[in-house]
């Protein structure tokens, strides 16, 4: 068998799958202009950008699409019709490489199909991340939301602030055992981002602010209101010490960090977190209170919104659109940001009604770190319970929205927070099979 493709773009997809099929079958599958398996790029008048048609007949297989991405997805569907051993990382003999005859016309309902990963609470190596990217691409997930900073660990090298990774990347756990330093170098990030891009996955980095930043504050205490020395948090939960919006230097820091990060992540979006930020330290901070008076803000919730607005301007200046968790709309100030609805669907409904784009990731359906089987017998999880059936039955467009408002729902995402996900085996156990339902 050979794979036929004419254009360089189609040949690239053909080469990817020829290598994969050769690896599992042991046959030397070649890429030529004509083949028993043919990849055809057609007009986008017929196909949506991510859609494809797959025809499996007795003597030929053809995938037709209007983009390399569509061809990639069509071939992934073809591989899923073959015996599962086609995904093996080595030659499997005694398998009949048969696929059922089929005629499939497929395209995604939503443009954003995401998974959230949290290497802050427990780190994932480059190889572990790549393995997940391979699997996610099989199932046509097109976005990884990478939560790279939190109270318990800072996981990305920033050259202007080396302490973030060196100091913020390690914590002392319960019995005095040091966890880390664990972080991705910029070279490793580039490697992962391009590995993902070859598989049509965009990685959106999250720099979580202004809360959940004790690891950064440990390295640079001036980022907080009081400036007291601290260490990265070694228990889970929500930390009271947060960044200080009252200090101009905090915005300079953020601009420098975001500048380095956007250079590594060439997508459209930049995620700034924005959730779970206690207002206690701001209430007692002279700088924060002075800013509230200067900007005529009503309270600390408006200060939070003001902070997010400023960061939105920074991100836009660097060519990125903002994404934030649903708290970003709490202060009531206008934002252009795309909102991730996590506290149920209410934040997403409100955002869509305001005209903001929304990604649905409610903790009532999409939290894949919650239990999926009887907690009495299941491996320890953070809590909650969301079965495969519940995820599968979830309808991402809330009934409360009009047809016009519903257009703002751009997609769905499964979240896997890492507190109780210390190994890659546990990650896979939590992710699957529920991610397939996503």
Residue 405 is a binding residue for ligand ACM (CB under 6 A): no
For residues 233 and 237, give the distance between their C-alpha atoms in angstroms, rounded to a whole number. Answer: 9
Interaction of residue 225 with Zn ion, rule CB under 5 A = yes
Residues 359 and 345: their CA atoms lie apart, in Å, by 10
CB of 199 to Zn ion, least distance (A): 43
| Tokens representing residue 435 in the block | 């991610």
Choice among 116, 212, 271, 408 that is catalytic: 212
Contact between 365 and ligand ACM by CB under 6 A: the answer reads no
Closest C-alpha to 276, from 342, 321, 225, 220 = 342
Output 246 or 347, the one with its CB closest to Zn ion. Answer: 246
Residues found in the chain = 438
Q: Which does 330 bind (CB under 5 to 8 A by kind): Zn ion, ligand ACM, none?
A: none
Strands (E), 297-438: 321-325, 338-341, 358-360, 409-416
CA-closest candidate to residue 371, choices 361, 360, 363, 379: 379
Among this protein's residues, is 147 annotated catalytic? no
- Decide: is 325 part of the binding site for ligand ACM (CB under 6 A): yes
Helix (H) / strand (E) element for 307: namely helix 300-317
Question: Residues 249 to 288: which contact ligand ACM by CB under 6 A?
Answer: 275-276
Secondary structure letter of residue 11 according to DSSP: H
CA atoms of 22 and 81, how far apart (whole Å): 17
* Residue 72 near ligand ACM by CB under 6 A: no
246 binds, among Zn ion, ligand ACM, none (CB under 5 to 8 A by kind): Zn ion
Catalytic residue among 42, 87, 106, 276: 276
Q: How far is the CB of 417 from ligand ACM (least distance, A)?
A: 6
Residue closer to ligand ACM (CB basis): 157 or 206: 206
Nearer to ligand ACM, 87 or 276 (CB): 276
Which residue from 154, 64, 148 is spatially nearest to 103, judged by alpha carbons?
64
For ligand ACM, give the closer residue by CB, 123 or 342.
342
- Residue 272 CB, nearest approach to Zn ion (Å): 18
Our CB check for ligand ACM shows the closer of 50 and 326 to be 326
Q: For residues 51 and 43, is the Cβ–Cβ distance under 8 A?
A: no
Whole-angstrom distance, CA of residue 89 vs CA of residue 25: 10
287 binds Zn ion (CB under 5 A): yes
| Annotation marks residue 276 as catalytic | yes
Partners of 243 in the β-ladder:
224
150 is catalytic: yes
268: how many CB neighbours lie within 10 A of its CB? Answer: 12
Please say which residue, 78 or 342, places its beta carbon nearer to ligand ACM: 342
Binding mask 228-257 for Zn ion (x = CB under 5 A): ----------------x-x-----------
Of the residues 200, 265, 342, 365, which one makes contact with ligand ACM according to CB under 6 A: 342
Listing DSSP states for 100-158 in one string gives --EEEEE--S-SEEEEEE-TTTS---HHHHHHHHHHHHHTT--EEEEE-EETTEE-B--
Task: List residues binding ligand ACM (CB under 6 A).
Answer: 275-276, 325, 342
Instruction: By CB under 5 A, name the binding residues for Zn ion.
Output: 225, 244, 246, 285, 287-288
Kindly list the catalytic residues: 150, 212, 276
């Amino acid at each position: 068998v050979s794979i036929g493709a004419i254009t360089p773009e189609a040949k690239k997809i053909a080469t990817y799958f020829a290598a994969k099929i050769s690896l599992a079958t042991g046959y030397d599958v070649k890429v030529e202009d004509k083949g028993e398996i043919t990849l055809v790029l057609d007009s986008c008048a017929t196909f949506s950008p991510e859609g494809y048609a797959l025809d499996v007949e007795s003597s030929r297989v053809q995938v037709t699409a209007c983009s390399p991405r569509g061809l990639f997805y069509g071939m992934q569907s073809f591989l899923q019709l073959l015996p599962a051993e086609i995904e093996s990382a080595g030659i499997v003999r005694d398998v009949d490489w048969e696929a059922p005859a089929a005629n499939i016309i497929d395209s995604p309902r939503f443009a954003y199909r995401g998974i959230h990963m949290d290497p802050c609470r427990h780190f994932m190596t480059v190889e572990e991340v790549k393995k997940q990217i391979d699997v996610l691409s099989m199932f046509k997930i097109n976005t990884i939301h990478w939560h790279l900073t939190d109270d318990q660990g800072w996981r990305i090298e920033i050259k202007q602030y080396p302490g973030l990774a060196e100091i913020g990347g390690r914590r002392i756990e319960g019995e005095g055992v040091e966890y880390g330093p664990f972080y991705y170098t910029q070279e490793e990030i580039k490697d992962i981002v391009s590995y993902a891009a070859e598989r049509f996955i965009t990685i959106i980095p999250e720099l979580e602010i202004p809360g959940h930043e004790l690891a950064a504050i440990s390295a640079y205490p001036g980022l907080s209101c009081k400036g007291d020395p601290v260490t990265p948090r070694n228990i889970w939960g929500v930390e009271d010490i947060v960044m200080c919006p009252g200090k101009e230097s905090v915005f300079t820091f953020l601009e420098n960090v975001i500048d380095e990060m956007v250079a590594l992540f060439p997508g459209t979006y930049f995620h700034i977190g924005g959730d779970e930020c206690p207002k206690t330290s701001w209430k007692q901070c002279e700088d924060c209170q002075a800013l509230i008076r200067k900007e005529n803000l009503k309270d600390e919730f408006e200060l939070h919104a003001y902070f997010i607005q400023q960061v939105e301007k920074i991100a836009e200046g660097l060519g990125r659109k903002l994404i934030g968790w649903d708290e970003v709309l709490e202060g009531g100030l206008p934002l252009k940001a795309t909102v991730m609805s996590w506290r149920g669907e209410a934040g997403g409904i409100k955002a869509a009604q305001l005209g903001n784009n929304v990604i649905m990731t409610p903790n009532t359906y999409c939290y894949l770190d919650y239990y999926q089987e009887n907690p009495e017998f299941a491996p320890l999880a953070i809590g909650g319970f969301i079965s495969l059936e519940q995820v599968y039955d979830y309808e991402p467009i809330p009934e409360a929205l009009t047809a016009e408002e519903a257009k703002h729902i751009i997609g769905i995402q499964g979240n896997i927070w890492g507190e109780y996900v210390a190994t890659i085996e546990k990650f896979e156990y939590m992710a699957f099979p529920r991610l397939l339902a996503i």
